[in-house]
């Protein structure tokens, strides 16, 4: 697929602006080509993928919304992801190896995401109610 700058096609400003908001159409075969590797997975591999997806979902969700209520879910997911254990079939390292995924790359991405969510929370601190005082100033 070749991409040409809009200025080389002789379009005016109105035509270029209209093309910015034109939806990009893809064929179903193009969409599902990206999912082809999932279709070839056996039952055990699909289960491993589901376990990995769930752990990543919990990690991302709970790291973005910290609290005591669900912190044990985050800690459990974090410990599982950080573990380098290869002795258990459903360990993070084994699942990544079986699925052909780079475990360290995933860990780095999760760490970066957690760091960004902490920075965002720090940029918008929650406001606390001011200490109540009597009108007389006491």
Ordered alpha helix ranges (H), 21-91: 28-33, 36-39, 43-64, 71-82
Query: What is the per-residue pLDDT for 114?
Result: 85
Domain ranges of the chain: 39-121
The three-point CA angle 115-118-119 to 5° equals 90
**Residue 131 or residue 65, greater confidence:** 65
Residues 6-62: tens digit of each pLDDT: 454 555 666 666 666 555 666 666 555 555 556 667 888 889 999 999 999 998 887
**Residue 128 or residue 34, greater confidence:** 34
Q: What is the b/e burial string over 72-107, where b = at least 16 CB atoms within 10 angstroms of the residue's CB?
A: eebeebbebbeeeeeeeeebbbbbbebbeeebeeee
Query: What is the per-residue pLDDT for 71?
Result: 80
């Amino acid at each position: 697929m070749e991409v040409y700058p809009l200025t080389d096609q002789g379009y005016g400003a109105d035509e270029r602006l209209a093309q910015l908001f034109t939806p990009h159409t893809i064929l179903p075969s193009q969409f599902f080509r990206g999912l082809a590797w999932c279709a070839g997975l056996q039952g055990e591999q699909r289960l491993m993928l589901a376990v990995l997806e769930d752990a990543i979902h919990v990690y991302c969700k709970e790291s973005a919304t910290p609290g005591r209520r669900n912190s044990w879910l985050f800690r459990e997911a974090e410990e599982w992801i950080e573990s380098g254990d290869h002795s258990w079939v459903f360990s993070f390292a084994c699942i990544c190896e079986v699925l052909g995924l780079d475990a360290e790359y995933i860990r780095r991405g999760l760490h970066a995401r957690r760091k960004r969510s902490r920075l965002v929370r720090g940029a918008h601190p929650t406001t606390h109610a001011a200490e109540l005082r009597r009108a007389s100033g006491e």
